[in-house]
DNA sequence: TCATTCTGTAATTATTTTTATTACAGTACA
DNA sequence: TGTACTGTAATAAAAATAATTACAGAATGA
């Protein structure tokens, strides 16, 4: 996983699942995660775009799951937060005159893609419901 | 993969494999990768500690593989560069008063560990020899 | 209707992590 | 003993992440 966003996203989703259909405010979510409400809203925006969450604006507003926790796999959550590819990625510009340097990015990309597929497959074995259920 | 070090490590190892038993200098390696020789030496130091590489100091010195490329799996290379765990990791300090916040780090760690095991398994299907052989 | 309590988003700043650079002592060779 | 390397540490620069601030807009209900 690239980044801390996965943890935040999963934390949010778990809280929403636990809250059933009650709407939770970004302030409340931020309090459990211990980060800034604006960060929560940013992540919620992404989760909304991916169809996991829906939010209601205005007074008494907040967010809730847009579908059953059983229908959200951790692989999908991973994919919603992933940027670039798994391994950090090609900011390298190897020497094109070197037979290895010339082609290494292509081969690395293939390797990363194959590996990431397996990772997603593994994460997808678990649904949000499975994860959430671990919390009493 | 956490970071760009994997790409650098694999690039170095591939070059060393291609060079057979010839010693390659950090300057030469840096030229193919297009990074600073000091960075190469730092990575070589780690690769040496993991038993993949051996280096000779002094004039006409340089590095070579310490064992056959067939005996080095990409999973091992990954493990040599990995720091912390796969997913970025627990700098979060969630609210201990929240039932979710209280336990989420533990559950995330379990998830990350399981996932990383599968990732390493996948990478280990390929040896350095397999990877190196892709380059003409 | 309008004060209140939310969200949505952008802009900015701060912090952390990563990468690059510089420097130089130590080693081996010829 | 000069030259060409490695090893390593210290420092600086750059990039990526995360935090903060700010404020317009939406929904509620007194």
Domain positions in chain A are 5-132
- Identify the pLDDT of residue B85: 52
Return d(Cα B63, Cα B45) in angstroms, integer.
10
- Identify the pLDDT of residue B84: 64
Residue B133 pLDDT class (50, 70, 90 cuts): very high
- For B80, residues 6+ apart whose C-beta sits below 8 A from its C-beta are B9, B46, B47, B50, B52
- Identify the pLDDT of residue B87: 45
Residue B94 pLDDT class (50, 70, 90 cuts): confident
Is the pLDDT at A90 greater than 70? The verdict is no
Is the pLDDT at A124 greater than 70? The verdict is yes
Question: At A62, phi and psi to the nearest 5?
Answer: 150, -170
Residue A87 pLDDT class (50, 70, 90 cuts): very low
Q: Tell me which of A88 and A38 has the higher pLDDT.
A: A38
> CA A85 – C1' D24 distance (Å)?
36
Task: Please judge whether A100 and B2 are an interchain contact, meaning their C-beta atoms are less than 8 angstroms apart.
Answer: no
Nearest-neighbour CA in chain A from B93: distance (Å): 7
Check whether residue B12 has its CB closer than 7 Å to nucleic acid strand D: no
Which nucleotide is at minimal CA–C1' distance from B36?
C20
Looking at the structure, give the CATH architecture of the domain made up of residues A5-132.
Answer: Orthogonal Bundle (1.10)
Is the pLDDT at B1 greater than 60? The verdict is no
Is residue A4 within 8 A of residue B88, CB to CB? The reply is yes
Q: What is the 3-state secondary structure (H, E, C) of chain B?
A: CCCCHHHHHHHHHHHHHHCCCCCECHHHHHHHHCCCHHHHHHHHHHHHHCCCEEEECCCCCEEEECCCHHHCEHHHHHHHHCCCCCCCCCCCCCCCCCHHHHHHHHHHHHHHHHHHHHHHHHHCCCEHHHHHCCCC
Chain A residue with minimum CA distance to B136: A99
Check whether residue A97 has its CB closer than 7 Å to nucleic acid strand D: no
Is residue B77 within 8 A of residue B1, CB to CB? The reply is no
Task: Please judge whether B1 and A88 are an interchain contact, meaning their C-beta atoms are less than 8 angstroms apart.
Answer: yes
Is the pLDDT at A84 greater than 80? The verdict is no
Check whether residue B136 has its CB closer than 7 Å to nucleic acid strand C: no
Residue B90 pLDDT class (50, 70, 90 cuts): low
The token duo for A132 is: 């959430």
């Amino acid at each position: 996983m690239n980044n801390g966003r996965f943890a935040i996203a999963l934390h949010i989703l778990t809280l929403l699942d636990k809250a059933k259909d009650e709407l939770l405010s970004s302030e409340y979510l931020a309090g459990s995660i211990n980060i800034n409400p604006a960060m929560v809203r940013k992540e919620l925006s992404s989760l909304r775009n991916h169809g996991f969450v829906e939010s209601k604006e205005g007074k008494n507003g907040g967010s809730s799951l847009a579908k059953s926790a059983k229908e959200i796999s951790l692989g999908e959550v991973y994919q919603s937060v992933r940027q670039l590819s798994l391994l950090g990625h090609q900011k390298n510009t190897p020497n094109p005159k070197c037979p290895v340097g010339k082609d290494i990015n292509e081969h690395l990309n293939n390797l990363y893609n194959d590996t990431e597929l397996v990772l997603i497959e593994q994460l997808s074995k678990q649904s949000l419901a499975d994860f959430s259920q671990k919390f009493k």
